């Protein structure tokens, strides 16, 4: 896979669809970039993909739902691979408000997004979406301090944002379909790239930070940079633990990166 590619949406759980794109990481592999549609009574889009694939993303979204029916857009954080199409979705979804916290509103205001369309909640609070509550929580690993994961109490699904991403050699249907050793390496590498501060974290601190997620006993974990993961929580947490002692990430192979930049392709950093 040499170019960013948007895949068609697909069902990944009760009331839940995934909008997945893959981007090449020069010299490393590929990374999924996922958004999700929760078919609650008040439909929720969780993140909005990246601007580089705007037309393809909007088409894939329209194949799943009439955007005019969306009521909420849950913004896990304000990074470009999560809010790249927020403005386009807001324009196509006049009923929808975007959900974030104090810092998220500040950052999205700097991007000139219409703050009158925002709805502020903070970790520990819930958003009622008609037939269920979505619990906002701070994941143990993140790259932006406004990050809010979401737990769907109705389906038992944890939407973990950047936590539990994996660099992969090729796209996969599910995280369980990736060989365990390759998954561990991919989880650890992503965590090292995305959260270099993990190198200053001890095992006991990480264990305490992941405890609230483990206690939720999610039926499925849907990460922004991982195929759907069910029944492999231990492997996911082991991947984070491996990042504590992984080598510092210093960037991809220079020649592969240069070729990508010269080709005018977007680079995920
Ligand atoms: Fe991020
Ligand atoms: Fe991300």
Q: Which ligand is nearest to the CA of 107?
A: 1
Residue 259 has pLDDT above 90, yes or no: no
Vertex 73: Cα angle to 172 and 124 (nearest 5): 90
CA of 76 to the centre of ligand 1 (A): 9
Summarize the confidence of residues 211-235 as an average pLDDT.
96
Asked if residue 75 belongs to a domain, the reply is yes
CA of 247 to the centre of ligand 1 (A): 20
CA of 161 to the centre of ligand 1 (A): 8
Residues whose CB is less than 8 angstroms from the CB of residue 267 and which lie 6 or more positions away in sequence, other chains included:
26, 257, 260, 261
CA of 143 to the centre of ligand 1 (A): 5
The residue with greater pLDDT, 261 or 2, is 2
Q: Give me the pLDDT at residue 122, please.
A: 97
Q: Give me the pLDDT at residue 211, please.
A: 95
Percent residues over pLDDT 90 in the chain: 90
Asked if residue 94 belongs to a domain, the reply is yes
CA of 81 to the centre of ligand 1 (A): 7
Question: Which pTM was predicted?
Answer: 0.94
| Residue with the two structure tokens 């539990």 | 164
CA of 77 to the centre of ligand 1 (A): 7
Is there a contact between 73 and 87 (Cβ–Cβ < 8 Å)? Answer: no
Summarize the confidence of residues 168-188 as an average pLDDT.
97
Q: Mean pLDDT over all residues of the chain?
A: 95
Residue 90 has pLDDT above 90, yes or no: yes
Query: Within 10 Å of residue 216's Cβ, how many Cβ atoms?
Result: 16
Asked if residue 11 belongs to a domain, the reply is yes
Asked if residue 269 belongs to a domain, the reply is no
Q: Which ligand is nearest to the CA of 144?
A: 1
CA of 164 to the centre of ligand 2 (A): 10
Is there a contact between 115 and 105 (Cβ–Cβ < 8 Å)? Answer: yes
Is there a contact between 141 and 194 (Cβ–Cβ < 8 Å)? Answer: yes
Asked if residue 73 belongs to a domain, the reply is yes
The side-by-side arrangement of strands in the sheet containing 149-152 is 126-128, 133-137, 149-152, 157-161, 220-223
Q: Give me the pLDDT at residue 48, please.
A: 98
Asked if residue 249 belongs to a domain, the reply is yes
Six token digits for residue 39:
């078919």
Q: Give me the pLDDT at residue 157, please.
A: 98
Domain count, the chain: 1
CA of 231 to the centre of ligand 2 (A): 23
Q: pLDDT band at 253, cuts 50/70/90?
A: low
Summarize the confidence of residues 109-120 as an average pLDDT.
98
CA of 269 to the centre of ligand 1 (A): 9
Q: pLDDT band at 256, cuts 50/70/90?
A: low
Name beta bridge partners: 11. 17
Domain that residue 167 falls in: 5-262
Q: Give me the pLDDT at residue 265, please.
A: 73
Long-range contacts of 142-147 (CB under 8 A, 24+ apart): 142/77, 142/195, 143/77, 143/79, 143/194, 143/195, 144/77, 144/78, 144/79, 144/107, 145/103, 146/77, 146/78, 146/100, 146/101, 146/102, 146/103, 146/104, 146/107, 147/76, 147/77
Percent residues over pLDDT 70 in the chain: 97
Q: pLDDT band at 255, cuts 50/70/90?
A: low
CA of 41 to the centre of ligand 2 (A): 27
CA of 165 to the centre of ligand 2 (A): 8
Q: pLDDT band at 250, cuts 50/70/90?
A: confident
Q: Give me the pLDDT at residue 251, please.
A: 77
Residue 261 has pLDDT above 90, yes or no: no
CATH assignment at residue 65: 3.60.15.10
CA of 239 to the centre of ligand 2 (A): 17
Asked if residue 197 belongs to a domain, the reply is yes
Q: Give me the pLDDT at residue 260, please.
A: 72
Query: Could you tell me how far CA 223 lies from the centroid of its own chain?
Result: 5
CA of 259 to the centre of ligand 1 (A): 24
Residues near ion ligand 1 (CB < 5 Å) are: 79, 143, 162
CA of 147 to the centre of ligand 2 (A): 10
Summarize the confidence of residues 8-15 as an average pLDDT.
96
Q: Which ligand is nearest to the CA of 33?
A: 2
Q: Give me the pLDDT at residue 127, please.
A: 98
Summarize the confidence of residues 146-156 as an average pLDDT.
97
Asked if residue 92 belongs to a domain, the reply is yes
CA of 71 to the centre of ligand 2 (A): 23
């Amino acid at each position: 896979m040499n170019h960013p590619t948007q895949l068609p949406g697909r069902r990944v759980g009760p009331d839940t669809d995934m909008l997945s794109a893959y981007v090449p990481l020069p010299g490393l592999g590929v990374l999924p970039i996922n958004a999700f549609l929760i078919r609650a009574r008040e439909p929720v889009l969780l993140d909005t993909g990246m601007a580089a694939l705007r037309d393809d993303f909007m088409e894939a979204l329209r194949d799943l739902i009439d955007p005019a029916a969306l009521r909420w857009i849950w913004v896990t954080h304000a990074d470009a691979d999560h809010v790249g199409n927020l403005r386009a979705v807001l324009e196509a979804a006049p009923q929808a408000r975007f959900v974030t916290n104090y810092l998220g509103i500040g950052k999205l205001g700097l991007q000139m997004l219409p703050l009158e369309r925002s709805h502020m909640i903070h970790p520990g609070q819930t958003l009622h979406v008609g037939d269920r509550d979505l619990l906002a929580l701070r994941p143990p690993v993140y790259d932006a301090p406004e990050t809010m994961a979401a737990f769907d109490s109705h389906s038992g699904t944890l939407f973990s944002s950047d936590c539990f991403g994996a660099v992969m050699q090729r796209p996969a249907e599910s995280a369980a379909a990736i060989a365990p050793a390759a998954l561990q390496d991919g989880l650890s590498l992503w965590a090292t790239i995305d959260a270099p501060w993990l190198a200053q974290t001890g095992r006991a601190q990480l264990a305490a930070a992941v405890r609230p997620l483990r206690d939720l006993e999610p039926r499925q974990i849907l990460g922004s940079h991982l195929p759907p993961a069910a029944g492999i929580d231990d492997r996911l947490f082991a991947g984070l633990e491996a990042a504590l002692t992984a080598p510092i990430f210093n960037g991809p192979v220079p020649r592969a990166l240069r070729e990508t930049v010269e080709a005018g392709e977007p680079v995920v950093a």
